[in-house]
Structure 1
Amino acid sequence: MRVGYVVAAATPFEFVATLDPERPVSLYDYVAVDHVEYDAAGGDYANVRLLGQIVKLYRDPYSAKRDLPLYSVMREVSDNILEVQIAKVKVLGYVNGGELRQPKHPPRIGAPVYLAENGEIEELFKVENGLCVGRLASRDLEVCLDLNGVKRHVAIIAATGSGKTWFSVVLIEELLKKGAKIVVVDPHGEYVPIKDSIYKLGPYSATVVKVSRHHSGDLMYKIGVLDGEPEALANAAGVPPGAKKIRYAIYLAWSYARKVRKATGKPVGLSFLRMVLHTALRGENALNKLFQQYKIEGDFPMEDLRQIAKKDRHAVFSALTYLKKLQRLGVFSSRSTPLSKMLADITIINLAGVNEEVQDYVVSHIVNRIFQARVRHVRSLKGLKIPWPVVLLVEEAHRFAPPKTLRKTRSYEALSRVASEGRKFGVYLVIVSQRPSKVDPDVISQCQSQVIMRIVNPKDQEAVRESSELLAQEFLENLPGLDVGEAVVLGPLAKLPVVVKVRDRVLDYGGADIDLASAWRRDKTADVVQHWRRLYNAAPPPSVMMAASRLKLLRKWKEGGRVGVLLQDGDREVAVYIEDGRPACTVCGVGKPCHHVYKALEEALEVV
């Protein structure tokens, strides 16, 4: 279908077209021009179909004189004014022998411009083993990204609420379908619901590793106290950088513990470090007995431990307090959690519930262990190996890899190494952030594939422009106008920059915005408890209320005097019917005070 003509600024890379103002042609749509190009192989000129994408679109009044007030013009000639629709078109090339080639000659002025056929567009983006994340924003055509593009690392960038976590979940689904092993660094526990919904996608395994005992997870992540450095341990404990004496006290206890482990082979944890400092406070005789108990060889500064206990008892007391606080977290132990217990098809590292220093320590520790395990496998070295490539998805990447000039983190070093060397060893990085200007430019520039969603902040736009050689100025200008769920994909993931409308996800996640109307609604708990008391002559047990909070509402309805509530409990559906105020559960039976009934009572209060 012809929609316009080439009118100006025609080069082999772009041209300006005037379009029929009555035809609805949209931004980012694809057009074609009949073109003549020299065929070097055949030694002659050939007719080809030159494809392009509309990257800028506007309308203009053709007959309005610029020296007249616009209102006067419109009042006098509004019935006769001529409207033109102008499009700037980026030339993509022409397909020859299954390959996309770049023209060496510009299209002719006056050449007709046609809407590209669906088949021509599908040919542009056809890939083997594609990651089918959505459809074109301008056409109802599926877009599949190149799986091998993940090997060059990926950055997912968007303003808050633009759909970056949604896209991340869709990408996870597609990678799982291809057999990938994924580790998600999750600072807020947003990805934890994937564990309970993984069955919807297929027979995949999911493990949630928690750092705080008060949050959801299948197992606690433990870090061996002596696996890192004493300075990092002090940082994780929250010791101020300027508290040199407190840090030195921790260093002395840590150093002695390391000597003891080397001499005896026994595991040593925070309790041992605290015991060393407690012993120092009891005096020189107690310390001598401790030193005699373990035959330590080497240059450990025993005298320094004696002196700090005499002259800086406050520093030792403070060090004990910090170590006690660290021990309460339950993260640090005598041994680190084995990677073999953690890794599944998807492993979610739930960092919620601990401070940023501990999160930084944990991320650094995990990333380094995964990287080293892959290095051992590729180079056939001794030690723990991971036999398959790993995709490492880091949410809120600006927390862990900020610019070095802003602040220094331990996890930056680990992530920077993966970004620069990971593809050689099969560790592929996917960073997710709403503030690309707060991510270290060296890390983000290593992510050659980029998924860019709506960005408004000028500093973040500039950071995206500097990190991407493929993002045209027109795409950059249009970023604030992207709808929620739309993304510009460029780099090795896509043959050409493409604007995608992300498909619906299958897996659940907890990153959606809070609905204030629901959150500020009158608390229903008192009403539910009162109804429960009338039914069962007792208050609902906390265990029932907790179990009810994990259930998911599928549907609720009212038929006459009967209310029905359909719930999702794991991999099964449970219905509860309430008639004349008395509930009946299809799983637990009539009159049973189960958690299904409690959830149904909560929901039934809203059914009108």
Structure 2
Amino acid sequence: MPAELSIGTLLESEDAAPAKLNPAKFNRHTFWCGQSGSGKTYALGVVLEQLLLHTRLPLVILDPNSDFVRLGDIREGASAEVRDELATRDIRVLRHGDREGLPLHARFLDLPLRSRAAVLQIDPVYDAEDFNVMLHIEDEMQSMLRTGGMATVTEDGALVKFLRGSEDPARHRLATRLENLGIADWDLWSWGRDSVADVIDEKPDATVVDLGSFGTQPEMRSAALAVLDHLWLHREDRIPRLIVIDEAHNLCSPEPETPLHRLLTERIVQIAAEGRKYGLWLLLSTQRPSKVHPNALSQCDNLALMRMSSSRDLDELGSVFGYAPPSLLERSPGFAQGQALFAGGFVNTPVIVQMGARLTHEGGIDVSVPLR
């Protein structure tokens, strides 16, 4: 295995010297940013392909725009050697609905109590009474699950029926909330079928969770929370994983508004702060640093910066990532598409790179202007 990942060429080298990253340093969190049109997602795909080729690091990709759903679809221009090597990689794409790929499901009752409450838009403080009801029936439900008495509740529609079967009006309120919000009818829930957690536990080379296949943000965020909760609950297994969160502002914004969004942000910040020692390493990709929660941003030891025209954003990057030279940050507004500054642990010294070509197809490509 090569000691470095070849990702393109050094921009100002006389002989187009190859630009390389140290794969061992992906055991630190990475921040990847660039404004719209900078080539951010395409370039990120170049790096993920190299990680697939040259490491055994499992990738878990939360993909809100369906940009990486073709990560296993190899381009015709790839060499026979690369084609044969990539073809051996176990890349699984999980998608909502009847789209091509594996079905994307999660087990509602496997979520931690606070996560189930957040999906129901119940805040432990502001909705204390309803949360307390969930707290009081938790032991009963978990006991029934352990003994098999809860088997029928894992079937579609049975949870509402279980809650309605009690004479307790507080349980009826929970059932009404499930029905009114339509949560019990989400196709996300497995209700006895395989879940995304089962796929992750099989440790494929890449698990692409197509969040963009959902029609609503609550369902998309619930799927993301199910993945991150599962990884965090099993952190003591210490299985190294790179958790790639594309368009991270959708999941980890500075000012989340709903209980679900707040808990999801809290989980990502927790992984950023404590996940490294368990082998849970984040790669957060977004258009602007100000769109990502500062407590997640500040934990990143690697930086990939593409074109960024906002002086305010560049100032913020300079203050957070002190290892990125101001003289190179200042050049970012002039970057052409596909050019990037790399700084931090995964390069020996900060460099500006012209990214290489993709080996696989990107899922979300720009729509062209129709010409006459």
- Shorter-normalised TM range: 0.7 to 0.9
Q: Select the residue among 93, 104, 113 that pairs with 1:220.
A: 104
Range moving further from structure 2, 509-518 or 256-265 = 256-265
Give the corresponding residue for 1:151: 27
Q: Give the counterpart letter for 2:292 in structure 1.
A: V
Whether the 8 Å contact between 2:157 and 2:184 is mirrored in structure 1 is: no
Give the corresponding residue for 1:181: 58
Give the corresponding residue for 1:493: 346
Q: Secondary structure at the match of 2:370?
A: helix
Q: Secondary structure at the match of 2:285?
A: strand
Whether the 8 Å contact between 1:400 and 1:409 is mirrored in structure 2 is: no
Alignment of 1:266-285 (within 5 A): 266-267=150-151, 268-269=153-154, 271-280=157-166
> Per-residue deviation at 1:325?
4.1
Whether the 8 Å contact between 2:70 and 2:361 is mirrored in structure 1 is: yes
1:331 correspondence with 2:208 = no
1:168 correspondence with 2:44 = yes
> Per-residue deviation at 1:422?
2.7
Cα deviation, 1:137-172, whole Å, max 9, x if unaligned, reads: 112111111122211221111001101111111101
Q: In the aligned structure 2, how far is the partner of 1:436 from the partner of 1:151?
A: 21
Change in Cα spacing, 1:413 to 1:480, as seen in structure 2 (3 Å) is: same
> Per-residue deviation at 1:395?
0.3
> Per-residue deviation at 1:491?
0.6
Whether the 8 Å contact between 2:29 and 2:282 is mirrored in structure 1 is: yes
Q: In the aligned structure 2, how far is the partner of 1:278 from the partner of 1:368?
A: 28
Give the corresponding residue for 2:224: 363
Change in Cα spacing, 1:239 to 1:355, as seen in structure 2 (3 Å) is: farther
Alignment of 1:11-26 (within 5 A): none
> Per-residue deviation at 1:417?
2.8
Cα deviation, 1:189-240, whole Å, max 9, x if unaligned, reads: 1111113338834421210122x224332233222425322x5335435679
Whether the 8 Å contact between 1:437 and 1:459 is mirrored in structure 2 is: no
Range moving further from structure 2, 153-162 or 455-464 = 455-464
1:430 correspondence with 2:287 = no
Alignment of 1:45-56 (within 5 A): none
1:232 correspondence with 2:115 = yes
Q: Secondary structure at the match of 1:483?
A: coil
- Structure 2's unaligned 5+ residue stretches are 76-81
Alignment of 1:529-540 (within 5 A): none
Give the corresponding residue for 1:190: 67
Give the corresponding residue for 1:137: 11
Change in Cα spacing, 1:213 to 1:341, as seen in structure 2 (3 Å) is: farther
Cα deviation, 1:436-470, whole Å, max 9, x if unaligned, reads: 11111221121111000101123322321222002
> Per-residue deviation at 1:308?
4.5
Give the corresponding residue for 1:28: none
1:479 correspondence with 2:363 = no
Q: Select the residue among 175, 181, 206 that pairs with 2:91.
A: 206
> Per-residue deviation at 1:406?
7.0
Whether the 8 Å contact between 2:107 and 2:189 is mirrored in structure 1 is: yes
Change in Cα spacing, 1:202 to 1:226, as seen in structure 2 (3 Å) is: closer
Cα deviation, 1:475-513, whole Å, max 9, x if unaligned, reads: 232211111100010011111110000001111112221
Q: Name the structure, 1 or 2, with higher relative contact order (CA <8 Å, separation 6+).
A: 2
> Per-residue deviation at 1:181?
1.7
Q: How does the TM-score come out when normalised to structure 2?
A: 0.82
Q: In the aligned structure 2, how far is the partner of 1:225 from the partner of 1:157?
A: 36
Give the corresponding residue for 1:393: 244
Q: Select the residue among 202, 206, 221 that pairs with 1:346.
A: 206
Change in Cα spacing, 1:308 to 1:499, as seen in structure 2 (3 Å) is: closer
Q: Give the counterpart letter for 2:91 in structure 1.
A: A
Q: Secondary structure at the match of 1:195?
A: coil
Change in Cα spacing, 1:442 to 1:343, as seen in structure 2 (3 Å) is: same
Whether the 8 Å contact between 1:209 and 1:342 is mirrored in structure 2 is: no
> Per-residue deviation at 1:430?
1.0
Q: Give the counterpart letter for 1:197 in structure 2.
A: I
Q: In the aligned structure 2, how far is the partner of 1:188 from the partner of 1:326?
A: 25
Q: Give the counterpart letter for 2:63 in structure 1.
A: D
Give the corresponding residue for 1:440: 293
For these two proteins, the number of residue pairs brought into alignment is: 352
Alignment of 1:551-566 (within 5 A): none
Whether the 8 Å contact between 1:205 and 1:346 is mirrored in structure 2 is: yes
Q: Give the counterpart letter for 1:177 in structure 2.
A: L
Whether the 8 Å contact between 2:256 and 2:265 is mirrored in structure 1 is: no
**Which structure features the higher share of strand residues?**
1
Q: Give the counterpart letter for 1:329 in structure 2.
A: D
Whether the 8 Å contact between 2:246 and 2:285 is mirrored in structure 1 is: yes
Q: Secondary structure at the match of 2:24?
A: helix
Q: In the aligned structure 2, how far is the partner of 1:174 from the partner of 1:465?
A: 28
Q: Secondary structure at the match of 2:74?
A: helix
> Per-residue deviation at 1:374?
4.6
Q: Identical aligned pairs, as a percentage? A: 22
Q: In the aligned structure 1, how far is the partner of 2:335 from the partner of 2:50?
A: 23
Q: In the aligned structure 2, how far is the partner of 1:251 from the partner of 1:324?
A: 22
Cα deviation, 1:305-347, whole Å, max 9, x if unaligned, reads: 2x448xxx7x567425236543232425357542466531111
Alignment of 1:66-105 (within 5 A): none
- Structure 1's unaligned 5+ residue stretches are 1-127, 281-286, 288-304, 379-385, 522-608
Q: Secondary structure at the match of 1:464?
A: helix
Q: In the aligned structure 1, how far is the partner of 2:58 from the partner of 2:147?
A: 39
